[in-house]
Amino acid sequence: MKVNNTPEEHPLFPSGDWEGFYKYRFAWDIRKHEMNFQLDFQNGTITGSGSDDVGVFSWVGTYSIDSMTCNMTKFYHDRHTVAYKGNVDENGIWGTWSLSDLTGGFHIWPSQNGAQTKAEEEEKEEEVINNLN
């Protein structure tokens, strides 16, 4: 059986450098916590690594072109894991994350997508926040 090792060709699932943020659901921390990382999309599987204000992490997950969704787990080295569930559109991936009794929203997008304006980012942030309530 031949294994297909070619990167995903769908334009909304580009392998490479990504960036974005996560936010806590609760008002005690309203900051955007920035993330910078690399993702690889291949045969319905997501892998990658990067860092944020908590530390260095790795990604493992799945994606679906049919439903335009993804489920990922962020593994902080020698710490904890965080589950991410997201929807995919032309603005990137957005949805919710959870860790035990903590939860919040996130929005990530390909770094090479320089076309994303501040207004588009703020609009997506508002949508993320509204979906938490």
Amino acid at 97: W
DSSP 93-130: EEEEEEETTEEEEEEEEETT-TT--HHHHHHHHHHHHH
Taking the CA of residue 18 as centre, how many other CA atoms within 13 Å lie in the half-sphere pointing to its CB? Answer: 29
Q: What is the pLDDT of residue 86?
A: 97
The H or E element spanning position 35 is strand 33-42
Could you tell me the two tokens for 78? 């020698």
Architecture of 16-132 per CATH?
Beta Barrel (2.40)
pLDDT in tens, the chain (133 residues): 445 678 899 999 999 999 999 998 876 777 899 999 999 999 999 999 999 999 999 999 999 999 999 999 999 988 899 999 999 999 999 999 999 888 999 999 999 754 455 556 666 666 666 666 5
Cβ neighbour number for residue 108 with a 10 Å cutoff? 24
Question: Domain extents for the chain?
Answer: 16-132
pTM of the predicted structure, to 2 decimals: 0.81
